């Protein structure tokens, strides 16, 4: 495994305990020499990105924007803590198409995925994770993450790799990466 993505809630409010768990996860990812990928958004994924970046590891953001200006001003997304940002937006496309294109690349490039809370966008990314058999770790949290076990049992019956669930980011990382 060389790359892992962190997906999840990008809009406030944020729970300080979950933010800290994301920081621990980001440090663990960096400590194992893995590149951390994210949707280049704020929130829980960015907390992991910041921690990985501070630890000196490569962090890559996958933005639905066309360029840096569009990323910051239209999507209110951060630039700090990214070693690199890849822009997948096209001014002739709708935001739905830009987000979908970005998410498809993000999940495709990840060797494993960690999910923290989230909403509709996270659910769409989780569908890609299940379809591509990517190793998945779910940090016990509300939102989209709270539905993953039910989705896995109901919709992903033929999936060979079972998702891992934990409130402990270190144990979760170890379970996913050990696979």
**Sequence spans of domains, the chain:** 20-113+127-139
In what helix (H) or strand (E) does residue 166 lie, and over which residues does it extend?
A: strand 164-166
pLDDT in tens, 44-83: 999 999 999 999 999 999 999 999 999 999 999 999 999 9
Tokens of 152: 């896995």
Question: Which parts of the chain sit beneath pLDDT 50?
Answer: none
| pLDDT value for 152 | 86
Q: How far is residue 49's CA from residue 18's CA, in Å, rounded to a whole number? A: 14
CATH topology classification for 20-113+127-139: Rossmann fold (3.40.50)
């Amino acid at each position: 495994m060389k790359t892992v993505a962190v997906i999840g809630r990008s809009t406030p409010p944020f729970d300080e305990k979950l933010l800290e768990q994301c920081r621990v996860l980001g440090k663990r990812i960096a400590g194992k020499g893995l590149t951390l990928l994210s949707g280049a958004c704020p929130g829980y994924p960015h907390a992991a990105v910041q921690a990985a970046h501070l630890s000196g590891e490569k962090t890559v953001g996958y933005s639905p924007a066309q360029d840096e200006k569009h990323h910051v001003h239209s999507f209110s997304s951060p630039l700090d803590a990214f070693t690199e940002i890849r822009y997948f937006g096209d001014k002739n496309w709708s935001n739905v198409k830009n987000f979908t294109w970005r998410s498809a690349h993000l999940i495709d490039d990840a060797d494993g995925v960690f999910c923290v809370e989230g909403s509709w966008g996270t659910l769409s990314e989780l569908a890609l994770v299940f379809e591509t058999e990517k190793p998945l770790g779910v940090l016990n949290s509300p939102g989209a993450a709270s539905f993953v076990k039910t989705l896995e049992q109901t919709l992903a019956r033929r999936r060979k790799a079972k998702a891992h669930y934990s409130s402990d980011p270190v144990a979760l990382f170890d379970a996913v990466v050990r696979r």
